Chain A
Amino acid sequence: MSDPNLITLTVNGRTYQLPEVPGEMLADLLRYRLKLTGTKVACGEAECGACTVILNGEPVLSCSFPAAKADGADILTIEGLSDLHKTPTADGQLIPLHPLQQSFIEYGAVQCGFCIPGQIMTSYALLERNPDPSEEDIKYALKDTLCRCAGYPSIIGAIKAAAFTLKTGQPLPHPPIDPSNHAGRVVGRIQPRPDAIAKVTGKAIYTDDIQFENMLHARVKRAGVPSGILRKLNIEKARKLPGVVAVLTAKDIPGEKNHGLVIPDWPIMVGIDEQIRTVGDALAIVAAETRQIASKALDLIEVEIEPLPVIDHPVKAIQDDAIRIHKNGNLLKHIKVRKGDVEEGFAQADVVLEHTYHTPMHDHAFMEPECSIARLTPEGRMEIYVGSQIPYSDRNQVARALGVPEEQVRIIGQLIGGGFGGKEDIAGQIHAALLARATGRPVKLLFDRQESLIVHPKRHATQIRVKVGAKKDGTLTAVETELFGDTGAYASLGEKVLTRATTHSSGPYEIPNVKADCYAMYTNNPPAGAFRGFGVMQSAFAIESMMDTLAEVLHMDPVELRKKNALKVGSITNTGQVLRESVGLMECIERVEAEMNRLSGGNPFIPKPVEGAPHRLRAWGFAVGYKNTGLGGGAPDKAGAEVELRRDGTFQVRSSSAELGQGLPTVLQLIAAEELNQNPRQIDVLLMDTDLTPDGGPTTASRQTFVTGNAVRHAARALRQLLTSELAERYDVPPQEIRFIEGLAQVNGKQVSLSHLAEQMLESGRQPLASYTYWAPATRPLGQGGDMHFAFSFAAQAAEVEVNTLTGEVNVLRLIIANDVGTAINPLGLRGQIEGGAIMGIGHALTENFIVEQGRVITDRLARYRMPSITLTPEIIPIVVEHPVTEGPFGAKGVGEIVLIPTIPAITNAIYHAVGVRFDRIPVDQEKILLTLKERSGNY
């Protein structure tokens, strides 16, 4: 360093000299000082690779690389990559993207996009050293570059394709993905995401990438203890710290003191003499000139908490002498399902089995930590920039806390770097708004990974007792389940999640007698809420483990047992719903079975040693699952959408529905393009802005393709009719003579450009715009019989595992996955959902365990909460089953959640078949496998 206080570095070919800032990491310098926000920070603890940049030719983690250490270095970031190389096309053109960027787009490796810059930079470094990497090489190189959307197979395919193009100069080979069997002109065909280019070039803007002038940085003082009464809170020292602009506490909240999606039971901040219910409870909020100052201020806040006993388990919460976590007690809800008479059913059974299963909390571990920016407009309205799954609910909750009408708040939804259910509740939206209101300045509130892990609601931990009765031939006569669900300190969506857990707890089977009871309990653990699978993941693990045990006791093939009882058209579910159509379960089972038999060469459930390594045993496991589409249970389920023809002749589709990476924009684009007979590129999709887009409802329960998809379809159809009648009148031709083709209308053989049409309509004061509110078919509440849900997705899966009997280590080798999705509207997006769901399932089975001890979070870093890395990627064999739903858009139903559900029991069942060790809790513990095997062989 020539001048000790200056850092000189070259980034993407440009040289900068910048003053050194103590404590600054390279990622911060790049992002906040050079505004190169393509480099992402997801963990800040050297675990995830999102922040990877190339420094002097080698990949490094910029989040943990001191900026001062980069003095003199030559750095390449995602923004500089496309300057290095372009991608040739088949017709001799050049796409202005590096082949890796283009292949990530074409192979569907881009989902939420947050990890993608890191993936691409790491892959770039790999290809620089090794132009022809094998799958093993790729897994070794990307080992610590995590993707929670987990399109790892697509990432591997994309890297190989780019390597081919770089080596040969030929165009990228096509990805091996088939269109839907019910493909239309565009619907059901391969279509890259509209936002993919921005995501592979680093230009995609997520909330933390936004900086406003004069913006303050906020941090939250958290309770840090799980249970107690807040006795004293002294903020004076913090307030006096230079650079601190505001410190607020509960008494500074002008409106309602609580928030909550269903029940407002979650304090925005805990006030003096009020109860602390979980470690993440907010006590005070700080806004300061820098994040460092805000953090320092937190340490200066003096807190006195009178401790209370900690209730750390739902079974403890239900005891009569347990302290009350909420005024009305600790029972959030007792949920009941009744069909027939189970006692009679068990009496008829030849075999009755009973066992209790446990599942832990899971964290969504979306790659993008929560971030909100609040800003007052000159007119005094509050604008919130945030990646949220339910923008209209945010608006409502922020307005209530501020004590202003909803119209005074605008949620401007940003790209979401993964959600999976974890961005439905309020995170920092209200706190940022309170501070913006108090200071009159824009305020950014960014969670670090630790805060994210402690604060947002988790997947419910459950304890599930299952009792089944069956005839000798396998016919189920009765199933009784009892569930305890840990909803933590606050309700969030707990009641709804656990209702799904309960109604799905006897599996996708037709059973004459069913009794299910679920106790949704408050505890002092972090709250639990929505998470992909929505309670059904937990109950599927229990019932599908039990079904395997039952097959063994009955000496039956586990697949046969499932076939014998599988739901089909005409079946009555345990809530009394008659399934009238679209029940593809049997086809899923049969096709997975056939593929499993083919791959295993018969006897898939018999362990087979690996040749040359007899201590490694392989076997298959099988499981099925189902999952409702849509809110159901009598909740009105609707979505609004608008479609507009713009002056330039392109269309815009608008809905407030959220894109978390699952591919909704493509789905809506394809649906509108199909209806309007346009090229999808002519259709722009605008989402998640409460001023500009109509309410699409929550993005949850795999409902958006169905509900918002239908709204868009109807709106597009209405717009087409509007345009048709406009043309019919103008040109005086019958409407049936009018056709739309790309960018044009054909009127009686004459071509009229759509931009011209738009102009004409606007001039004569008519809006070329149609909106539609779609109401999904009515459903009925639990307990009333009839249709509790308007559609279900079905799935079957088989997993092949290898167990190392010397160490207990488990590896998933292959997964056969069949899903009945109605119609595969967006096959590329569907592939991403399948891969991502399956790998999340592997994570839940093998690596993920959110550990809370006495209410304190042990797994408060990504280094401890392990999500699956690319090294765990098995071969995935997807089978798309399409039993269309009449009411669905082009026959489609939900897909986002179903994939994950059977994966976990398929794996644990496979482990049982391989080594005879049955898991009644997850994640699988390799130590238990080993010790059980040793005990059994008697040499320990």
Chain B
Amino acid sequence: MNIWQKYVIPHSIEEAIHFLTSAPGPARPIGGGTDLLLEIQQGHHPPVHTLVDVTRIPDLLRLEEVGAHLFIGAAVPVRVITESPLVRYHATAVAEACGLIGGPQVRNTATLGGNVAHALPAADGMISLFAFDTQVEIANDGGRRLQPIHTLFKGPGQSALDLSSEIIVGFYLPLRQSGQSSAFSRVMRPQGVALPILNMAVWMERDDRVIHDIHIAIGPSGPVPFRATRVEHELIGHPPDSISLQRAKEAIHQSIQFRSSAMRAGAAYRHHLSEVLLEEVIGKAWQRAFELEAV
């Protein structure tokens, strides 16, 4: 009946992996616990014997530039991410998304590692990372490896990681170059579960008058998150004018099958909102790309 039998706080990755793999019962990494503890408590997660707290491992708490990348440690509280000038500059969409998770108290403990590992198709932080060519650093007893973010998902709420022996160390996002920018937005419903009806993140490279390159991620758009490449395709090489936006919207309707979910929204509503959000995030990113120096 207890939510856990053992709660351990390792101070290194190796120690954490050791705790995970040597526990006498089921073990899981835990970040802020804002998803995991409630799920166990409410019986939506099989019982866990050992919780391995990853929030005091120095490597997972780093938030810094590493070569050509911005590194965001998996256990950095999302409040710190939101407020970080580095993230606000290099990955504005991630800062925006993290600022929308929960309230201030939740943001003080929730982590991006948990948001991604939890694998919900509309998690705000996760969708924002999707818009970047994010590489995820993962550790297990075989060592560390990098994997592109889109390889981390098996199904709604199901991570492709083996959470009984692996942990996410952090996320590598390319540093922002001149002409590049990003944006995130979502629409909520005031009733019911605290997940967005729809959210959207965009990363863009602007070439004076046209969109040179663009990444778009929309949640929830399927059992696992994916990039809306057909929509991106309609925009690359064009200015974000009403003609190309219209083509992009049509590409959304053709390539994405939004679902109706009983308590959140019907598919038709989601399709409509996707148009509204698309205009909003592209508009914001387009402006920001221009204001690079000013940010």
- Which of A's residues lie within 8 Å of B, judged by CB? 1, 4, 20, 22-23, 44-46, 49, 52, 55, 58-61, 64-66, 68-69, 71, 122, 125-126, 140-145, 292-293, 295-296, 299, 806-809, 846-849, 851, 858-859, 861, 863-864, 866, 872, 923, 926-927, 930-931, 934, 940
Contact = CB atoms under 8 A, between A and B. Distances in A.
B79 A22 contact: no
B108 A144 contact: no
Contacts of A22: 2, 4-7
A257 B263 CA distance: 39
Interface string B173-205: 000000000000001011111100000000000
Nearest to A296: B1
Nearest to A52: B105
B7 A863 contact: no
22 contacts: A4-B8, A22-B6, A58-B79, A60-B109, A66-B51, A66-B53, A68-B9, A69-B9, A122-B105, A143-B103, A292-B1, A292-B2, A293-B1, A808-B269, A849-B191, A861-B42, A864-B263, A923-B190, A927-B266, A930-B269, A930-B272, A931-B266
A64 B114 CA distance: 15
B223 interface: no
B37 interface: yes
Best-buried of B1, B194, B272 by chain A (most CB within 10 Å): B1
B276 to A, nearest CB: 5
A49 B187 contact: no
Nearest to B37: A64
A662 B204 CA distance: 54
Contacts of A23: 1-5
Nearest to B34: A46
A858 B42 CA distance: 13
Interface string B57-92: 000000000000000000000010000000000000
B102 interface: yes
Contacts of B106: 46, 61, 144
Contacts of B190: 846-847, 866, 872, 923, 926
Nearest to B276: A806
Contacts of A66: 4, 7, 33, 37, 51, 53
B104 A144 contact: yes
Contacts of B34: 46, 64
Contacts of A125: 104
Contacts of A866: 190-192
A931 B269 contact: yes
B6 A926 contact: no
A785 B103 CA distance: 54
B268 interface: yes
B265 interface: yes
Contact of B189 (A49, A60, A142, A926): A926
A205 B86 CA distance: 46
B193 A141 contact: no
Interface of B: 1-9, 33-34, 37-38, 41-42, 51, 53, 55, 79, 102-106, 108-109, 187, 189-194, 263, 265-266, 268-269, 272-273, 276
Contact of B9 (A49, A71, A142, A927): A71
Best-buried of A45, A46, A930 by chain B (most CB within 10 Å): A46
A521 to B, nearest CB: 25
Best-buried of B102, B190, B194, B263 by chain A (most CB within 10 Å): B190
Contact of A64 (B6, B33, B104, B265): B33
A864 B265 contact: no
4 A-B pairs closest in CB distance: A144-B103, A23-B2, A68-B7, A296-B1
Contacts of A864: 192-193, 263
Contacts of A68: 7, 9, 53
A801 B191 CA distance: 18
B154 to A, nearest CB: 25
Given A22-B2, A847-B190, A61 B272 contact: no
B269 A144 contact: no
Contacts of B33: 64-66, 69
Given A61-B105, A64-B38, A122-B104, A807 B5 contact: no
Contacts of A872: 190
Nearest to B265: A927
Contact of B191 (A1, A45, A807, A848): A848
Contacts of A65: 33, 109
A448 to B, nearest CB: 10
Contact of B105 (A60, A806, A808): A60
A44 B37 CA distance: 11
Nearest to B1: A296
A55 B2 CA distance: 24
Nearest to B2: A23
Nearest to B38: A45
B76 to A, nearest CB: 13
B214 to A, nearest CB: 22
B108 A60 contact: yes
B192 to A, nearest CB: 6
Contacts of A807: 187, 273, 276
A1 B9 contact: yes
Given A60-B109, A65-B109, 17 more contacts: A23-B1, A58-B108, A59-B104, A61-B105, A61-B106, A61-B109, A64-B33, A66-B51, A69-B55, A140-B104, A144-B105, A847-B190, A848-B191, A851-B263, A861-B42, A864-B192, A923-B191
B83 to A, nearest CB: 10
A45 B43 CA distance: 13
A312 to B, nearest CB: 16
Nearest to B270: A927
Contacts of B268: 931, 940
A140 B3 CA distance: 31
B104 to A, nearest CB: 6
Contacts of A122: 104-105
B220 to A, nearest CB: 16
Contacts of A806: 276
A872 B263 CA distance: 21
Contacts of B263: 851, 858, 864
A772 to B, nearest CB: 48
A851 B191 CA distance: 11
B105 A59 contact: yes
A393 B9 CA distance: 51
A847 B53 CA distance: 35
Contacts of B53: 66, 68-69
A141 B103 CA distance: 7
B12 to A, nearest CB: 14
A585 B269 CA distance: 42
Contacts of A45: 38, 41-42
A59 B108 contact: yes
Contacts of A847: 190-191
A293 B268 CA distance: 48
A145 B106 CA distance: 11
A142 B102 CA distance: 11
Nearest to B104: A141
Contacts of A296: 1
Contact of A20 (B7, B38, B103): B7
Contacts of B102: 46, 144
A696 to B, nearest CB: 37
Contacts of B8: 4
B82 to A, nearest CB: 11
A442 B3 CA distance: 27
Nearest to B264: A927
Given A64-B38, A296-B1, A69 B103 contact: no
B155 to A, nearest CB: 22
B193 A863 contact: yes
A147 to B, nearest CB: 13
A258 to B, nearest CB: 31
Contacts of B41: 44-45
A859 B193 CA distance: 9
A59 B109 CA distance: 9
Contact of A69 (B7, B104, B105): B7
